[in-house]
Chains A and B, each alone.
Chain A
Amino acid sequence: MGQWKQQTLSRKNWMAFTGLFLCLYLVIHLLGNLQLFLPEERAHRQFNLYSHILSGNIIIKIISYILFASIIGHVVYAIIITLTNTRARKVKYHYDRRGAVSKWYSRNMGLLGTVIFIFLVIHLRDFWYVYKFGNLPLDAQGHKDLYILVISVYSELWYVLLYVVCMVALCYHLLHGFFSAARTLGLYHPRYAKGVRIFGWVFSIVICTGFAAMPVYVHFLK
């Protein structure tokens, strides 16, 4: 056996590592964007300053490369794992009721992940691409006015709905993904495994409610 030969367990480890890094990123992203909930004028000023500081920081730049690598790694390993799993049962059951003994979202992580990936493409095109390569007006402090962009994107109702639906998909993905990552990495102690599971549920709901609240708040209250 070669030192780096890929096995089922090591592939799952990469899924867990990249997934947990993306979870950590979600926390930072959510905390930063909470500034949108500030009073109008302060939110405008502070949010633009925040994005200006982030985009100029070398450490943030390095993290953003790791982030892109994690997303790609998570997707590539998901595809490899799914293809191997398909080969593990070539003849399907004629009558299949196995779904009765497991959660639907635990069996459909690929589907939920695809929804999230499509969302990411849309989301990056809306904000990241426009901020980086688009012609954004400058605010009073001379920073690119990302805040105005956020307000205008979320002024369309169908867009708000799209974001909320994608956050529901993310929530279900995390409900299974968070504890599953901990198990893949080998957390077998019953008490801590239970604790991580409960933490994962709270984490998924808090993160996704937080993100879903942003477009809703901007659309209806600004």
Chain B
Amino acid sequence: MQIRVQEAPFDYGAESARFTDGCNGIGAVVTFCGIVRNDGGALQAMEIEHYPGMTERALTQIAEEAARRWTLADCLIIHRFGRMTPGEKIMMVATASAHRADAFAAADFLMDYLKSRAPFWKKEFSGDSAEWVAAKDADEAALERW
């Protein structure tokens, strides 16, 4: 299990390849990458604030819960903080399992939980305005299916 919280960009291709190569012969790898939307050109930048210490702790707890629920050979979470522009990669998850069902389900679970249970907050900058992104009811409701 690998958890990384960092300001620097990451190489999604290289990380995916390294993760996959590390799961030698395991059967199934699922990867997901979250990217800053350009919102039709309106968004200039996004800033992500986080709670150092709790962030790593929450992500570890979420990954451990995924490993309890599904049979995983490995999982990886990388999440950035700081300022990003449209098109930049914000975060990625990767899961590895003997069969695809567990890998897909665990990746979906990790995403649902880290959206509303990991201490990150997004602020969007467009034109003269800067606004904190409000949490969506749908994101909270998404947790109920697990």
Specify whether A and B are partners.
no
